[in-house]
């Protein structure tokens, strides 16, 4: 679980967190991130929908079992793969996430 300011959180599989394109960003185009874009630290996960890349990161929690993050508790898909259009929780297949 990635924890962010204002109570936001995003859960993701360890494989997504460790993927080649996933980064913690402090800068964009050589400049520090602005507050609007997530200063001081933003998680960027290019292969997932944007709600899986929270702004204003404050901590990372390793979990032994899946738990839904902020947006997932509010009806967004637990995995969030845009290439398979995993947008909403009603689209989840068995095994895509914990019970709502």
100 within some domain: no
45 within some domain: yes
98 within some domain: no
Longest dimension (CA), the chain: 43
Q: How many CB atoms lie within 10 A of CB 62?
A: 7
For 60, the domain range is: 2-91
99 within some domain: no
Asked if residues 68 and 11 have their Cβ atoms less than 8 Å apart, the reply is yes
27 within some domain: yes
Rounded to two decimals, the pTM is 0.89
Helix (H) or strand (E) holding 4: strand 2-4
Provide the number of structural domains found in the chain: 1
97 within some domain: no
Predicted confidence at residue 90, as pLDDT, reads 96
70 within some domain: yes
Confidence at 100, pLDDT banded by 50, 70, 90: confident
**Tens digits of residue pLDDT in 18-74:** 999 999 999 999 999 999 999 999 999 999 999 999 999 999 999 999 999 999 999
């Amino acid at each position: 679980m990635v924890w962010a300011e204002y109570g936001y959180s995003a859960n993701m599989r360890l494989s997504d967190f460790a993927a080649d394109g996933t980064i913690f960003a402090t800068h964009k185009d050589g400049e520090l991130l602005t507050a609007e874009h997530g200063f001081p630290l933003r998680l960027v996960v290019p292969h997932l929908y944007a709600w899986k890349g929270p702004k204003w990161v404050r901590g990372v929690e390793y979990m032994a079992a899946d738990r839904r993050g902020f947006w997932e508790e509010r009806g967004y898909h637990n995995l969030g793969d845009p290439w398979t259009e995993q947008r909403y929780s009603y689209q989840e297949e068995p095994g895509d996430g914990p019970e709502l």
